[in-house]
Amino acid sequence: MAAAAVAAAGSSNVEFIRARSDKREYRRVVLANALEILLISDPDTDKAAACMEVEVGSFSDPEGLEGLAHFLEHMLFYASEKYPGEHEYTKYIIEHGGSYNAYTSSETTNFFFDVNVDNFEEALDRFAQFFIKPLMSQDAVLREIKAVDSENTRKICCLMAGGCISFNFILFSSQLQKHFASKDHPYHKFSTGSWETLETKPKARGLDIRLELLKFYKNYSANVMHLVVYGKENLDCIQGLVERMFSDIKNTDQRSLKCPSHPLSEEHLQLLVKALPIVEGDYLRIIWPITPSIQFYKEAPCHYLSHLIGHEGEGSIFHIIKELGWAMNLMAGECSDSNEYSFFSVSMRLTDAGHERMEDIVGLIFKYLHLLKEDGVHEWIFNELAAINEMEFHYQDKVRPINYVMRTVSTMRLFPPEEWLVGAALPSKYASQRINMILNQLIPETVRIFWESKKFEGSTSSAEPWYNTPFSVENVTPSVIQEWIEKAPTEKLHLPKPNIFIPKDLSLKEVHEKVTFPTVLRKSPLSQLWYKPDMLFSTPKVHIIIDFHCPLSSHSPEAVVATELFVDLLVDYLNAYAYDAQIAGLFYSIYVTSAGFQVSLGGYNDKMRVLLNAILVQIVKFEVKPNRFSALKETSVKDYQNFNFRQPYSQASYYVSLILGDKKWPVAEKLEALSKLESDYFAKFVPHLLSKTFLECYVQGNIEPSEAKSIVEEIENTIFTTPNSLFKSMSPSEYLIKRVIMLENDLKCYYQTEGLNQKNENSSVIQYIQVHQDDAILNIKLELFSLIAKQPAFNQLRTVEQLGYITSLSLRSDYGVLALQVVIQSTVKDPSYLDVRVDEFFKMFESKIYELSDKDFKRNVKSLIDSKLEKFKNLWEESHFYWGEIEAGTLKFDRVESEVAMLRELKKEEFIEYFNQYIKVDAPQRRTLSVQVFGGNHLVEFKKAINEANPPKMYRITDIFGFKRSRPLYSSLKGGPGRITMD
Pairing of strands 109-116, 47-54: antiparallel
Asked about 483 being catalytic, the answer comes back as no
Q: What's the residue count for the chain?
A: 983
Q: Is the dihedral of CA 427, 428, 431, 432 positive or negative?
A: positive
Catalytic residue chosen out of the listed positions 53, 55, 73, 95: 73
Give the residue from 388, 386, 397, 385 showing the smallest Cα distance to 504. Answer: 388
Question: What is the Cα Rg of the chain in Å?
Answer: 29
* CB 368 within 8 Å of CB 317: yes
- How many Cβ atoms from other residues are within 10 Å of residue 726's Cβ? 18
Cα–Cα dist 120/405, whole Å: 15
Q: What is the 3-state secondary structure (H, E, C) of 7-56?
A: HHHCEECCCCCCCCCCCCEEEEEECCCCCEEEEEECCCCCEEEEEEEECC
Cα–Cα dist 764/935, whole Å: 8
Give the residue from 658, 577, 661, 571 showing the smallest Cα distance to 619. Answer: 571
Question: Cβ-count burial of 512 within 10 angstroms (0-12 exposed, 13-18 middle, 19+ buried)?
Answer: exposed
Catalytic residue chosen out of the listed positions 53, 55, 86, 144: 144
The residues facing 12 across adjacent strands are 28
Give the side-chain half-sphere CA count within 13 A for 872.
15
The residues facing 179 across adjacent strands are none
Give SS3 for 537. coil
* CB 619 within 8 Å of CB 722: no
Longest dimension (CA), the chain: 85
Give SS3 for 786. helix
- How many Cβ atoms from other residues are within 10 Å of residue 582's Cβ? 15
Q: What is the 3-state secondary structure (H, E, C) of 581-646?
A: HHHCCEEEEEEEECCEEEEEEEEEHHHHHHHHHHHHHHHHCCCCCHHHHHHHHHHHHHHHHHHHHC
Give the side-chain half-sphere CA count within 13 A for 405.
30
Cα–Cα dist 34/222, whole Å: 6
DSSP 196: I
Apex CA 304: angle with CA 301 and CA 310, to 5°? 125
- Strand residues in 644-708 grouped as ranges (E): 694-701
Q: Is the dihedral of CA 798, 802, 806, 807 positive or negative?
A: negative
C-alpha pair distances (Å), 402 with each of 38, 863, 877: 14, 18, 15
Cα–Cα dist 147/153, whole Å: 10
Asked about 144 being catalytic, the answer comes back as yes
H or E element: which one contains 914? helix 908-914
Question: Cβ-count burial of 538 within 10 angstroms (0-12 exposed, 13-18 middle, 19+ buried)?
Answer: exposed
* CB 939 within 8 Å of CB 789: no
Residue type, 945: A
Which residues neighbour 488 within 8 Å (Cβ) at sequence distance 6 or greater? 360, 361, 363, 364, 366, 367
Q: 744-763: b or e for each residue (b if 16 or more CB lie within 10 Å)? A: eeeebbbbbbbbbbeebbbb
Q: Write out the DSSP string of 703-754.
A: --HHHHHHHHHHHHIIIIISTT-S--B--GGG-----BBPPPTTEEEEEEEE
* CB 319 within 8 Å of CB 626: no
Residues annotated as catalytic are 73, 144
